[in-house]
Amino acid sequence: MKHFFLILCLLGFFHTSLEAQTKQDSTAIQETVLNYIEGWETGDSARMALALHPQLVKRGIVPAKSGQGTELLEASYQDMVTWTVYQKESKKGKPQSDNTIRITEIGLNIANVTCISTEYVDYLHLARTEKGWKILNAVWEPNYQSMYK
């Protein structure tokens, strides 16, 4: 009976520890994604750099310039940090959008997140690193629902 009680206590401790870790991870992941989207919206390249893994692969599926079908755009960590600076001018005086961040799954060292802003829909894969949670992969498209409101 003592062993059974000890096992129950240990299971309860591990469950509580896991819940606390998941909550900490959730908060850290939210912060990473906010650095990404708000960094972009405000032209804050330091926040963008904080959010991204150095080996980021980002792809966008956008309408083709020809008007027929779609085309693929690609960006690296350096592209995103550099391009973010240009947002300061193009977004001048525009209010920040309401952003929705949904964490779909958190593994031990990976997470899957959807980020919806007024302009974009991003599906993000994050990785836990020594420097915290970082966006490793991203695929995005324009937020068509927002465009037609």
Share of the chain above pLDDT 70, in %: 77
Closest CA to 59 of 136, 146, 148, 144: 136
Strands 120-129 and 132-142: antiparallel
Tokens encoding 44:
């804050």
- Domains of the chain by residue range: 2-147
For 20-59, what is each residue's pLDDT tens digit? Answer: 567 899 999 999 999 999 999 999 999 999 999 999 999 9
CATH architecture for residues 2-147: Roll (3.10)
Whole-structure pTM value: 0.81
Angle at 148 between CA 116 and CA 97, to 5 degrees: 35
The predicted pLDDT at position 11 comes to 39
For 54-79, what is each residue's pLDDT tens digit? Answer: 999 999 999 999 989 999 999 999 99
pLDDT: is 145 or 7 the higher one? 145
The predicted pLDDT at position 86 comes to 85
The predicted pLDDT at position 19 comes to 52
